[in-house]
Amino acid sequence: MGQTSASFLERLRLQPDAGAWQHLIDLYAPLIRGWLRHHGLQASDSDDVVQEILGVLVQKLPSFEHDGRPGAFRNWLRAITVNCVRRFWREKLNQPAAAGGSSWEEHLAQLEDPKSSLSRHWDDEHDRHVLRRLFAMIEPDFQPSTWQAFRRLVLEGLPATTVATELGLSVNAVFIAKSRVLQRLRQEARGLID
């Protein structure tokens, strides 16, 4: 994906294509599925709810407008998830208890509240997931030494001199690698996690 995520979302909104939709599904389906399973849905139920959430996303994305505030897309996705899960549980005859013994309705109300710990957990989990997926997506676009320098310096926290010695690079080259990868990561993450 050679464009910013904000423009990626805009392209999906205005001129969607199958490849872009598949990218969005590949990015978000595992996050949503994992969240639903972690919060008590069985595998088959979570697959059904994920399909419903993605269907709503496909249907409603043309009307989504990023307001420029941090987390706008993430919050919008969370609201869709809450509504779809609520609909799922209302269709069930027995409403099971959610994690911690509360009802699913209480659980979903917490998720809707942007100040609740559950909502903050969703935000953190979302951002970590998207970053991991974006790392995997952009890594092939860099030379192995550039990616290694970035990984060792930023993700593993090694000193630049150590990384430079290990990889046979100058310290300046290590910082340039860091800058190039972070610039690309910011570009790809814009609108999704900011």
pTM of the model: 0.67
Query: Per the structure block, which two tokens stand in for 155?
Result: 């993700």
d(CA 44, CA 53): 14
Per run of 10 residues, the mean pLDDT along the chain (length 194 residues) is 54 76 85 85 88 90 78 86 87 57 70 84 85 90 96 95 97 97 86 61
Q: What is the pLDDT of residue 3?
A: 37
Q: What is the pLDDT of residue 6?
A: 56
d(CA 30, CA 120): 19
What is the residue extent of each domain of the chain?
Answer: 5-140, 142-194
d(CA 194, CA 190): 6
Q: What is the pLDDT of residue 1?
A: 36
Q: What is the CATH number of domain 5-140?
A: 1.10.1740.10
Q: What is the pLDDT of residue 95?
A: 52
Q: Tokens 């919008």 belong to which residue?
A: 76
Q: Is CATH 1.10.287 what the domain over 142-194 is classified as, yes or no?
A: no
| Main-chain phi, psi angles of 192, to 5 degrees | -95, -40
Q: What is the pLDDT of residue 192?
A: 67
